[in-house]
Amino acid sequence: VLTEDPEMAFCTLANREDLNPEAGSIHHCLYQFTRNEKLTETNKLLCDVCTQRRCGPKNNIKSEKKYVYTNAKKQMLISLAPPILTLHLKRFQHAGFNLRKVNRHIKFPEVIDLAPFCTAKCKNVAEGNTKVLYSLYGVVEHSGTMRSGHYTAYVKMRTTNNHLSDLVLQGQSPQAVETEPVKGQWFHISDTHVQAVSASKVLSSQAYLLFYERLL
């Protein structure tokens, strides 16, 4: 906030209010994770500027009681869109003193737009772009309980993503508009067993980890 325009601190590339995410979807998870939080009461923020105004330079402050805490707003947004987006879903919840696995299906798309969760001045997004698109290429699924289980994976054998290569090797932000998922065949992998599957089978899986590659 000291070096940036305070009015832009909570602005995103795309309007979050237009998103209206469906409960039980990855969009809703991201929306909740990046929501604006108010820091009040015991969560107030230590304000150096307010403290110096009241007490003078820091060298004169001899007691923590003189520190000034103030109400504030906090929001976690993406400032640098990664070439590879990895989403790790929290698949457990507390049940008293125990942990319980969450088996609920979370909906996720083949193409996801991160723009509503990116800062308005996202560093590697071309000026004027209001979309930051990613294509799904891998899913990790866990079956079983918190104590035991089995991991399997869905992986897409796909064509070369030139936009991703430019971003990783040369640091160039994608310019062309790509709205379709990268073409390819999905496979389900369980230990040494590999089987071709449909995209609908992948999207109905109980995802634990999601892997996306950047399109735009």
For the segment 38-91, what is each residue's pLDDT rounded down to a tens digit? 888 888 888 887 777 777 665 554 555 578 888 888 889 999 999 999 999 988
Q: Which residues pair with 194 in a beta bridge?
A: 189
The continuous run of DSSP H or E covering 210 comes out as strand 207-214
Q: Specify the pLDDT at position 1.
A: 44
Among 115, 116, 161, 117, smallest CA distance to 135 is for 161
What are the pLDDT digits (tens) for 163-208?
666 666 666 666 555 677 888 999 999 999 999 999 999 999 999 9
Q: What average pLDDT does the structure give for the chain?
A: 84
Counting Cα atoms < 13 Å in the Cβ hemisphere of 5 gives 6
Radius of gyration, alpha carbons of the chain: 22
CATH of domain 78-214: 3.90.70.10
Among 119, 148, 152, 124, smallest CA distance to 138 is for 152
Q: Can you give the pTM of this predicted structure?
A: 0.81
Q: Specify the pLDDT at position 19.
A: 82
Scored b (16 or more CB within 10 A) or e, 74-98 reads: eeebbeebebebebebebeeeeeee
Among 126, 127, 45, 142, smallest CA distance to 89 is for 142
Q: What percent of the chain has pLDDT over 90?
A: 40
Q: Is the pLDDT of residue 32 over 50?
A: yes
Among 206, 175, 201, 165, smallest CA distance to 186 is for 201
Domain boundaries, the chain: 78-214
Neighbours of 129 (CB within 10 A): 17
Q: Specify the pLDDT at position 170.
A: 64
The DSSP call for residue 195 is E
